[in-house]
A = this chain, B = another copy of it.
Amino acid sequence: MINRRGLLIILSSPSGAGKSTLSRRVLEDDPDVTFSVSATTRAPRPGEVDGREYYFKSREAFQELVANDGMLEHAEVFGNFYGSPRAPVEAAIDAGKDVLFDVDWQGGQQIRGSALKDAVVSIFILPPSIAALESRLMSRGQDSADVVASRMAQSRSEISHWAEYDYVLVNDDLDRAENELRSILIAERLRRDRNPGLVPFVQSLNEEFEERQS
């Protein structure tokens, strides 16, 4: 009813803290939230559709976007570039839709430093304990002990950036954490400064006052 500007929701956490499950639940149930599709220079794999899994770009096209401030964040991983194109995010938030970013602390820092920083809400998810984190990583059952050990080292580095985020959740109960995440979205959407539509709405109330008196 009241015209609002959408949010850039940055969700970061160490691997195994439940971030992917929480993202999925919110994206499935909340029609006002979309996922930020990344751009990449790596080749599409069988079944991947341009604009769905990724926007597939040549290195030249990717670099040009970066140079023209067209990426909210980007990074090179094993020789390929990955990044979040700004144009689709800007279109979404102008239409009052929120965009969810599943990024690490480096991506989070870049987005918070971007031209859209006023619309950013950043949330960090902590595990209740390192034992819980490790047991979730092990229970996936697909990874070798070496991979788990490397993930744990990465987790410690990721956790060291918790204090850069607006909100911090401790995920000791998935349903509770989901409810907390949804509450943050509901609340942030109600912030006065995110609702330009309040100005004309209050104006219409004032006009109604005038009409009553005349």
A residues contacting B by CB (< 8 A) are 1-2, 124, 126-127, 129-131, 134, 152, 156, 159, 162-163, 165-170, 172, 179-180, 182-184, 186-188, 190-192, 195, 198, 201-202, 205-206, 208-209, 212
Contact residues in B for A179 (Cβ distance below 8 Å): 186
How many Å lie between the Cα of A162 and that of B159 in the bound state?
39
A14 to chain B, nearest CB (A): 10
Q: How many copies does the complex hold?
A: 2
Contact residues in B for A201 (Cβ distance below 8 Å): 126, 170
How many Å lie between the Cα of A188 and that of B186 in the bound state?
11
Question: Are B129 and A208 in contact, CB atoms less than 8 angstroms apart?
Answer: yes
Contact residues in B for A124 (Cβ distance below 8 Å): 192
Contact residues in B for A187 (Cβ distance below 8 Å): 167, 180, 183-184, 186-188
Question: Are B152 and A202 in contact, CB atoms less than 8 angstroms apart?
Answer: no
User: Contacts A126-B201, A183-B184 given; 19 further ones with Cβ under 8 A?
Assistant: A129-B205, A129-B208, A130-B205, A131-B208, A159-B202, A159-B206, A162-B198, A162-B202, A163-B192, A163-B198, A166-B191, A168-B192, A179-B186, A180-B190, A183-B183, A183-B186, A183-B187, A186-B187, A187-B188
How many Å lie between the Cα of A40 and that of B172 in the bound state?
45
- Greatest chain B CB density within 10 A among A131, A166, A192 is at A192
A17 to chain B, nearest CB (A): 11
A177 to chain B, nearest CB (A): 10
Q: Could you show 12 A-B contacts with beta carbons less than 8 Å apart?
A: A124-B192, A129-B208, A130-B212, A131-B208, A152-B212, A156-B206, A162-B198, A163-B198, A167-B187, A168-B190, A183-B184, A186-B187
Question: Are B183 and A167 in contact, CB atoms less than 8 angstroms apart?
Answer: no
Contact residues in B for A169 (Cβ distance below 8 Å): 190
Contact residues in B for A2 (Cβ distance below 8 Å): 170
How many Å lie between the Cα of A191 and that of B134 in the bound state?
26
